[in-house]
Amino acid sequence: DAKTTQPNSMESNEEEPVHLPCNHSTISGTDYIHWYRQLPSQGPEYVIHGLTSNVNNRMASLAIAEDRKSSTLILHRATLRDAAVYYCILRDVFGSYIPTFGRGTSLIVHP
């Protein structure tokens, strides 16, 4: 499976934008990029996914590089409730979808 690389941790101030990077240099043409987050004492939850184009939903935006070797999850205005571990994973659209998680990025939000 193609792997992803994320920083161990990032910090932000409340109400500021946050850009969480993910590198996936070995991504294949049929890999979707999925983002999950895990709030304290909860299971991971789906945030957003995309293939080539940038995507927006009520939770976040996903910016995908033109060569698809990296992507960025954007939280437009961080809140204290966004403090979580964020995971970037790849899903092969033609294969079985088995979410395999790395260590993710621990986001700290300061008031």
Partner 1 sequence: DAGVIQSPRHEVTEMGQEVTLRCKPISGHDYLFWYRQTMMRGLELLIYFNNNVPIDDSGMPEDRFSAKMPNASFSTLKIQPSEPRDSAVYFCASSLRDRGSAFFGQGTRLTVV
What residues make contact with partner 1 under the rule CB under 8 A? 32, 34, 36, 38, 42-46, 49, 87, 91, 96-103
What count of other Cβ atoms lies within 10 Å of the Cβ of residue 33?
24
Q: State the minimum distance, in angstroms, from the CB of residue 16 to partner 1.
A: 27
* SS3 call for 56: strand
| Cα gap 62→104, rounded to integer Å | 16
Closer residue to partner 1 (CB): 42 or 53: 42
Q: State the minimum distance, in angstroms, from the CB of residue 111 to partner 1.
A: 26
Torsion of CA 68, 3, 56, 86, to 10 degrees: -150
Closer residue to partner 1 (CB): 96 or 111: 96
Q: State the minimum distance, in angstroms, from the CB of residue 99 to partner 1.
A: 5
Residue 59, sorted as left (phi over 0), alpha (psi -120 to 50) or beta, turns out to be: alpha
Closer residue to partner 1 (CB): 36 or 83: 36
